[in-house]
Amino acid sequence: MLANFLSTRKSISSGLCETQMYVTLFLGAAECIFLAVMAFDRYVAICHPLRYAVLMSKRVCVGMAAGSWIITFLGSVVPLYVLKLPFCDSNVIDHYFCEVPAMLELVCVDTTASESALQLGGVASEIFPFVLILLSYIRIIIAILRIASADGRRKAFSTCSAHLTVVTIFYTTAMLMYMRTKEQRTPQQDKVISVFYTVINPMLNPIIYSLRNSEVKGAFMKALGRSKMAQP
C-alpha cells in the first residue's frame, strides 16, 4: 500500500490483490481475538490475583495463542470466495488497498451471499470477542469498586486503560467497516474508516502501551521539558 502511494502507475496483479485482502483480513481478525485474550488476562490478574500463575500458566497461554491463530486462519476465507466472482469491466479499485468491501463494489452479480458471509465473519471475529471483552471488564470494574484503597483502585484502572483505549479505537472502526451492508457504505467513508485500523491504531499502539511504563513516562516528560527550555 505504501509503495503504491509513491508509484506513478498505481496497479496491482490479481494474485497480489488476493494476498493483500487475505493478509489484511487475517491480521485484523487476529487482533480482535488477541484483544479479547488480553481482556481475559486482565480479568484473571485483577479478579483472581492469587491464582494468576495457575490460571495463566505457560501451557494455557500457548494454547490460547495457538487457538487464536487457528481460528483466525480458518475464518479468513472470505477473500478467496470474493475473487471467484465475476468482476465488471471497470478494474479501478476506489480504495487505498485491496479490501473485501472495496472489491465487492466491482462485482457484477448479486453479492448478497458474499455480504452475508462477510457479516457472519464479522460476528465471529468482532462481535463475539467484543462481548467477551465487555463481560471481562464488567467483572473487572465490579472487582475494582470493591477495593477499599483509592490508590489501589487507581492502579487497577491504570492497568486496563491502555488496553481499553486500543479496543475502543480498533473495534469501533472495524465494526463500522465490516458490519455494515453494501447499501450503507460509501467509498469515501470506507477510506477514512480504514485509515484508523490500518495506520493510526498501529501507530498509536507503541505509544499507548509504553506510556504505562514509569521509565518511559519519565523520559518522555524529561524530553518534553528540554524542548520547552530550548524554545526561544
User: pLDDT at position 198, please?
Assistant: 83
User: pLDDT at position 213, please?
Assistant: 64
Q: Residue 22 is placed in which grid cell? A: 487475505
What CATH code is assigned to 11-230? 1.20.1070.10
Contacts with 51 (C-beta within 8 Å, 6 or more apart), sequence order:
44
CB-based contact 44:52 (threshold 8 Å): yes
Of the chain, the end-to-end C-alpha distance in Å amounts to 40
CB-based contact 27:125 (threshold 8 Å): no
Model confidence at 230, in pLDDT bands (50, 70, 90)? low
User: pLDDT at position 59, please?
Assistant: 92
- Mean confidence (pLDDT) of the chain: 79
Where in the chain are the domains? Answer: 11-230
Which has more confidence, 127 or 87? 127
The CA-based diameter of the chain, rounded to the nearest angstrom, is 67
- Helix or strand holding residue 26 (H, E): helix 14-47
CA 73/CA 80 separation, integer angstroms: 12
Least confident of 47-51, 90-94, 119-123: 119-123
Contacts with 181 (C-beta within 8 Å, 6 or more apart), sequence order:
115, 119
Average pLDDT for residues 10-36, to the nearest whole number? Answer: 83
CA 117/CA 113 separation, integer angstroms: 6
Chain center to CA of 27: 8
CA 63/CA 232 separation, integer angstroms: 56
pLDDT at 131 over 70: yes
User: pLDDT at position 79, please?
Assistant: 58
Model confidence at 80, in pLDDT bands (50, 70, 90)? low
Model confidence at 184, in pLDDT bands (50, 70, 90)? confident
Which has more confidence, 183 or 31? 31
Contacts with 75 (C-beta within 8 Å, 6 or more apart), sequence order:
29, 121, 124, 125
> What's the predicted TM-score (pTM) here?
0.76
Which has more confidence, 125 or 216? 125
